[in-house]
Structure formats: structure tokens, C-alpha cells
Structure 1
């Protein structure tokens, strides 16, 4: 995929080999030769937000990675070595993310599995690409991540341009909405999901009466909500993160708004209910299936709950599979060099993960991505509706 990036065939591959060789040489000088006999472990980086408003999600993702590494290591590791996770805090911030990614490169990781905010994953990806290190994303859904022509990017989750049309179809064909308001927070993820949803709504003939952003971190969104309410939408769809979603939902109900409230998959964290309280009841969320709704993830849920004293959040199981499929690629390649791992990841087509069968298309996206809707019932998320093979909406059990 990189062969044409520098204007002539093979230039990208030559550059990548050069950067890989340079990174390996530096690692040798530091006593960390990636994938070599001198390494006592095989290092996999985990960049996630461990501080800031998304720290809860980042911790959950890291916990999923730990469970995956423990499973691999208990079975003897890979290539006779143990998997060593190297976490770094990217704080969902672009500048911090660059520093976190460089720390992982300097630490001698041979692959990376993680990510949460697309705004952080994009600069991380650029750093890993320059070092020739593959990046398997578990939660970052912006389409640009796999549209840049980079050979070493993969995803165990779907994309915003898949979720957007799914959300629009639900609004039109299940809720029978005629008028919709879409609110984002101007982050890379939220704006991307909003744009894809708005385009699909317009294509489906739904009148988009509001399409604008709030500023994250504010303490009062009632002026925006009052304005949106005056436009009389049948549904409000918020595409940002759970920290603001909880406040938006709480204030919307305090203002007496009766329309359906919806959120994208950045709102599917239990913190939503802690912030909004009873106001969150009946909020509907579009999301990849949560672990508790996946038939292949029962043991994962049990292990997570036993290890951490609470159920898993939304992306831990997708990180669990990201680490698992990376370990599988290392085993298939019979090598822990980044280039060999990347090549092996491209060949994977039917890895049986906790989230189902995983394979990657030529861009690195998951070949088959599934979305469902869930609904808030009390302090829990409950399955709501999904589409059948013909695209018809049906209740989930």
C-alpha cells in the first residue's frame, strides 16, 4: 500500500526498511534489540488515555490488554518468550500522543495495540509508521486512520462511515424520525461521525435541523439545548464522548425535552449513567456490541470481573482481541520483527476472537464490522435493536 507514496514504485518500501533498520540499530545500542535473541520478552505498546476525562476508558482498555497478555503467557508465550505490555498515557491529546508514541518506539516495542481518541491515534500512527511498527487499533474509528495508505495500520473495530449510515437508518426506519439534530464536540472522532451521520440522514430524506458543535469541558450546555429544542427535532444524536454526554442528557431532561436522545459509540461508558443519573434512562446508543452481548465473550467477561471487581467497559474486549491477533501474527510470522508482524497481520482472515471472526481488508480495516443499538435501563446498558440480513430492524434478546 506504500509503494507509490514517494512517486515511484518501491520507494515507500525502501524508506520503511531504512527507518526500521535505523530504529533497530538504536534499540541495539540501548540494549533493547526488538525481536532479537537478546530480548527476554516481546514488547507490545499500549497507548491509551490514562489521565484526563477519558481515563476511565483508557484504564478499561489497558485491563483488556493485560488479560490477553496473561492468556498468551499462560499458554507458553510466543516464540518461546513472554509478552510484555508497555503502556503509555496519550491523554487523548495530539501533542501528548506524539510523545507517548515516541516513548514506545524508544522502548523497543515491536507492535502496538491500543488507541481510544482518533485525535490522538492519528499522530501516534504517523510516528509508528515512520518507525515501521504496526498499530492495531481497538477503539479509534475515524476513517482517515486506514485511508492514509500506511501499510502497518489495522483495526478490530468498525469505522465512522459505517456507524453513521447505521445510525441514520435507525433514526429513519426504527424511530420514524422526520427531523434530527446532530451535535458533536469538534474532536476528530466526533466530527467525523457527525459528518457521516448527517450525510446519511440527508440521503435518507430526514431533515437535519441542527448540525453544530459544543465545546468539551463546559459546565452548562442548556443554551445549546434550548436552541436545539426550538427547532423541534424528533431525535437528538450526540457524537462526542461520555463525559459531556452525561451532562447533556441530564440538562436536556431538566429542561423538559421529550424527544429521543441518542449517542454514538463514544458515549457507551458506564460513567454516562453516573453523571446523568435517572435522566439517562431510555437513551439509545449506536455501538459495536458490548462484551456482555457477545456469545464468544462470556469467559472474557467472567475473567475481567474476577480480576478487576467490575464488569468490562465497551472497548476492553476489542483491545483483548487486538493483543490476541497481534500475538497470533507474531506466531504465524515466526518472527518478532515489526515488518514480519505487519506482513502476517495482512494475511489473517479468520482469527477467532472474543468479538467474533477477525480478518483485515487491504486497508487494514476489519472485514466485517457489526453495529447494534443499546438502551439505558437503570444503571445498565441493555440490548435494544439490530438489523437483520435484509436490513430490517428487530429487537435484540
Structure 2
């Protein structure tokens, strides 16, 4: 089923993406051939996992090499064609194609696929903005690629929830062995010792004799007296305490155990992963490159400083956390956060705030053309620098009023809070 599910992606949205790439032509068409080869290499790897036991680590690296080589070729093609008029198309694919690396991620590879899909969103938005009014096939191209990675995320979540499953029984030493045959029949259960020795335990005569008693079969039952009936004896209704509070306590303890994880600060290729930091005000990201991303997850009462210009920053489920950075190529995102702050010293094109309560945005003079996108959020304030070095604080609207116009369309306006 796993192989069939991945084949559906190849024959479905990926095939549509390849078709639109050919229609667009040029560098996009050439680039798509490498993408096709990368997916075919991953299909072969999944087929190998279906038929084989998990090999040793050095063998896994060899088996993954065809896929990793294609991913590198896709990204190298983008770097060698920076002057291409379709550079945004090439960048959208190059930034998100590492999603195929989910086979090396555990225990939850599906969120990794989504993260890579989101990494290419900055460039897919550029493609849509540039070509939406010019040529529809570019819009269809974007939709097909995003759908490809969305289906890949669903596939991974359904078939490989905790990581790639190696289902075979033979050790891999090159060519995968054939799938295993039918399982052996279950063992025969020996009833000779049930109920006594020999055939006495299986003697059914006593059972039929009891059944044939007819109405006399109930003579041996114990009668219920008045003092044994709950509606006549209220003291019997006082049973043990309900079990529900115990369940609630167990759930709470499990949640606290899951949240309380050791802090980490690691660099994984292009990613800087900062997780579960508490009360750390001296977190520093330096020597980062322009294509790097910084991802903060469940940090509390901490401050992160990012030196240099990087691609993007994401704060996910953070509380009372601040980030100070120089410049970004793409965007900074706040997701499921509480009481967070950001300050840009250089330039940031986009700020995204989603499901966040309390967000202070300190801008620089170079970032006054920023686009702020907010949804399902509250207590958002933008602080604009003044000539004397102070800031002017302006709240982002949270409440809106929508009416139906005479032309049966919607008209939405901001509801100002005048206190």
C-alpha cells in the first residue's frame, strides 16, 4: 500500500506539475526533469524498504545516494541560472525539494515535509504575483507543485507516521530479496489439561445434564434479600470515587512530560533548530548564510540574536520570547505564540502572525515597506521608529465589520476601538 500511495503522487499531482513545466518551457522544463528523476529515485527506495529489512547505516547512505544526488542537482541548477527570467520558479522548487529527505527523519517526518513546502512559499507567491494576470498556466504550475508536496505529507503521515517502515525480513546486501511467502498455520491448542486430567475435563455430559433440568435449574441460585437491594438500602449506593479524576491527572502528567524536554541548539544543514530553551537570553546565531533558516520551537523567556542576512525565521509555540535580526530574504513567522517580540535592524519583506496572542513588532527605517499578514491573532502592535530614536506604537486591527453590498458582494471595514 505504501508503494501504491507514492505511485499515486507520481501519476497524479507530480505528473500535472511536469506537464505544466513542459508547457512553460525553458529552464522550468529542464529543471522539472531533475525533479522527475528525484521522485523516481525515491520510489525505488520505498520499494526497497517494502521488500527488505532495515540495512546497516553505511548501506542506507548508499541506497539514498541517487535521491540525494538529484536533490543536489536541482539546487545546483538554480544556482547556475540566477539570471534566468524564471528564477522564481527554480527557487520555489529548490527550496522545497528537500522534502524528499523525510525518509531520514524520525519519529515524525510528516511535519518536516510541510516545513519544506512552506520554505518554498515565498517564491511560489512571487510566481503567482508576477504571472497571475499574464498566464494562467504558471498559476496551475504552482498549484500542482504545492499539491504534490501536500499529498506527500499526507502519504507520509498515513503510511510512515513514525519514520520509514522497513517491512521485509531479509538483510539487504544489494538486490532486494523476494517478498516473504505465506505465514505458517497457528499451533494446535492442546485441551487435554483443561478442567482436569484426561477426558474428564472435556466431558460434556455434566453440562447437558444441567441444561436438561428445565425450570429446576434456578433452584441453586441465591435469592436477593431486602438488605441487599440498593433502592431499599441507601448505604449500598455509596461506591468508590469515580475513575474520571484519575484519568484527568494521568493526561495532565503525560502532557507535562512531553513538554519538559531538554533544550537544544543545533545546526542541521541549512537549518538552525532552537528548541525548548527556557530563560536563556544569550542565544546567538552567527556565521549563517543567506539560504539558512532559523526555527524556534517551544522556547520560553528567551532571546535569540541572528547576525547577518538569512532566508527566514519561524517562531512556533513560543512564549515570552524575543528575536533580534539584521535582515531576511523571505519572511518571519509567528505561529501559536504568546507574548513575543521581534526587532529588525535592516530589512524584512514579510511578517506573518498566525494564532498568536501578543506580538510586538519593532521596525527599522529600511523596513517601512513591509507586508504584515495576520490571522486569528490578538494584541498585535507595530512600533515605527521616530527621528528622535523613540517609537510610535500602532495597534494592528483585530475586529472587522462586514456588510452585503447592493451588488451582493461583501464589504469589510475595520471597527475602531475608541476606548
Taking structure 2 as the reference length, what is the TM-score of the superposition? 0.20
Q: Which has the higher contact order (CA 8 A, sep 6+)?
A: 1
Taking structure 1 as the reference length, what is the TM-score of the superposition? 0.21
